[in-house]
Structure 1
Amino acid sequence: MAFEVRPLTKNFGAEVHGIDLSEALDRETVAEIEALWRDNVVVLFKRQVLTEPQLIRFTNTLGQAEAISRTDILSPYHPEVAYMSNFRYLDGRTIGAFADDKDVGWHSDQTFRPKPATGAILYGVEVPPEGGDVSFANQYLAYERLSPEIRGKIEGRTGIFSYRKRLERFNPGELKDSIDKMKQTPDVPHPLVLTNPISGRKAIYADPNTLASIEGYDQAESDAIIEALVEAATHPDVVYRHKSHPGDVLMWDNGCSLHRREGVDNGSPRLMKRTTFHLPKEKYALPY
C-alpha cells in the first residue's frame, strides 16, 4: 500500500498520509509502519474514522491488545479500550480517566508493573478546540543529552519503580485506603537504560512519577541522579507537542518516550480512546 510520510519535528516523529486504518492492512504495510515507528518513536495518522473493533484490530496488527485492568476507565463494550474523557453519566460518575482535569504530568505507562505495556495508541473522538494537547518526549534523544558522568552512573544500573510514589504525588488521600492495592503492586526493578536491539540506540527509562530510587546508591545520591535524568528526559529539545484534532490516531513506543496531556478546558467535550499492547523483545527496547 503506497502512503506518504512527513516529519512531525526535525528530530523525531512521523505523520502518515494515505492509510485508512478502518481497513485490514497487508503484512508489507504493517512492516513498513513498524519500521517507521521504531525510527520515529511517535507516529500520527490523521482523519481516521474508527469503530472500537477496528481500533482493536489495528492494535492487534502490531501486538496483542491487552485487556484493561482498571474497570473505572474501561469501555463498556470492549475490555481492550480505555477512555480518557471529561464526560459524566447522568448520576455524576465519570466516564474514563481524568474527567476532573487532573493529570499525572510527564510519565511512561505502567512502569510500576513487572512487564509494562510498551506500545500505546490514542484515538481522538471528541477533541476540544483549545487545550488538551498531547506532548511526547523522545528518550533516545534525552539519553544523548546526558553528561558522560551521569551516563556512567546509570549504565547497567537498576531503578526501583513504586506505585506508592505515584499515589503520594497525585492521590495521597487514597493511600490510607490502598493497603490491598499496595500488596498487588509492590515496588519493581527496571533498568535505567534501554537499548534498541535493532538500532543499538540507548534510551533513558525514568518515569518521574514512579522512579523512587536507584540500586547501589543512597537516597540522596539517587535523588540527585533522578533529578538529572528528569531534566534531560523533559528538555524542550526532545519534546513534540501535538495539537489534537478529531480523527487523529497517535501511536507511541512507551519504552523510549514520556508523554503528558496539557491543560484542558472542561467546558469543552473531550473523548479519547486508548489501547495498549506488548512488543517483542527482539525488535524493541523493553524494560524486562
Structure 2
Amino acid sequence: MEPLPAMLAALNLVDTGARTSEDIFTGPSQWSPHGRVFGGQVLAQSVVAASRTVGEERPIHSMHGYFLRPGDLEVPITFAVDRIHDGRSFSTRRTQAYQHGLPILSMIASFQTVDEGLDHEKAMPADLPDPESLPDDRELLATIDHPMARYWATGRPFDLRHVEGPIYLETGAERVAHQVVWFRAKGRMPDDPAVHRAALAYASDYTILEPIWRRHGVAWSTPGLKAASLDHAMWWHRPARVDEWLAYVQESPSAGGGRGLSLGRIYTRNGRLVASVAQEGTVRLPSAR
C-alpha cells in the first residue's frame, strides 16, 4: 500500500462495540524499518479514537500525550477512551493506547463547540521561500544507501522540505536552535475535517526535535545518537487542509539533563496560524554520557 493510503487506513479505526466504562477501538500500524511504531501515528489514532466519542459539532482543540513504551509493529493497537466530561461547550476525553496489555501512550484531549470570540495570531516569519523552490527531501534521501533513508524517501505519507536545509547528513556551519519545514500530504486527502486534524497531529511529530540537534551540530547520521519523544502537546487554532502546503516554524528554547524542548507553530501558505505544538524528548550521545 502506498504511504498516504496506508496512513488513512491506520486512522480508520475499528469500533469494537464494547461499551463498559470505556469505548474501545482497534487499529493497525504502518511498517517502519527500525521496528517501532511511529509516535505521530499513535498520536493521530488516539485523536481519532477520542473524536469518535464526541459529536462533529465539537472539534478537538487541544491534547496532551505521554509516550510510555515503544510500539510493536506486529501487534494491533487497542484504544480505550474514557468519557471524562461533557459540559455545555466542552468535552474531555482520556485515551489510552495499549499493546500486550500495557499502555504505550496516554493522552487527554479537549473538544469545544465552535464559538466566536477575540481573535489574534502571531505572524508567520516574513520572506519564507516558496516550498516549490526548495529541494525535495526525497531526492537527497534517495542517494543514501540505508534502510531508514530509503523509508524516509519513499515510505512517508508527507512531502517535507527544509528551508535551512535538512540535517540528515550534516547540520551546516551555523549552530541555530530554529528551523522551518514546509510539508503537505503526498496526494489528495478526504474532505473530512476530523481526518485533517488527526493527520496534522501525525505530521507534527516528524521534525519537531530537530532544532535541538541543529543547535549542537548533531545530524541524524551521527553515530550513537539516541533520541525518543517523551511527551507531545498540541493546540488546534483554525481549520487547515494537510494536503496543501503548511509551514512548520520550530525552535528549541532549552536542552539539558539529557532532554530537550522544542516548540512549533504551523501556518497555512497565506499566513494563518492553524496549530501550536510542544514536545520534550531525550537526546543522548556517546560523548555526553
> Which structure's residues are more often strand, by fraction?
2
TM-score > 0.5 by shorter chain: no
Structure having greater relative contact order (Cα 8 Å, sep ≥ 6): 1
Q: Higher helix share goes to which structure?
A: 1
* TM-score (normalised: structure 1): 0.25
TM-score (norm: length of structure 2): 0.25
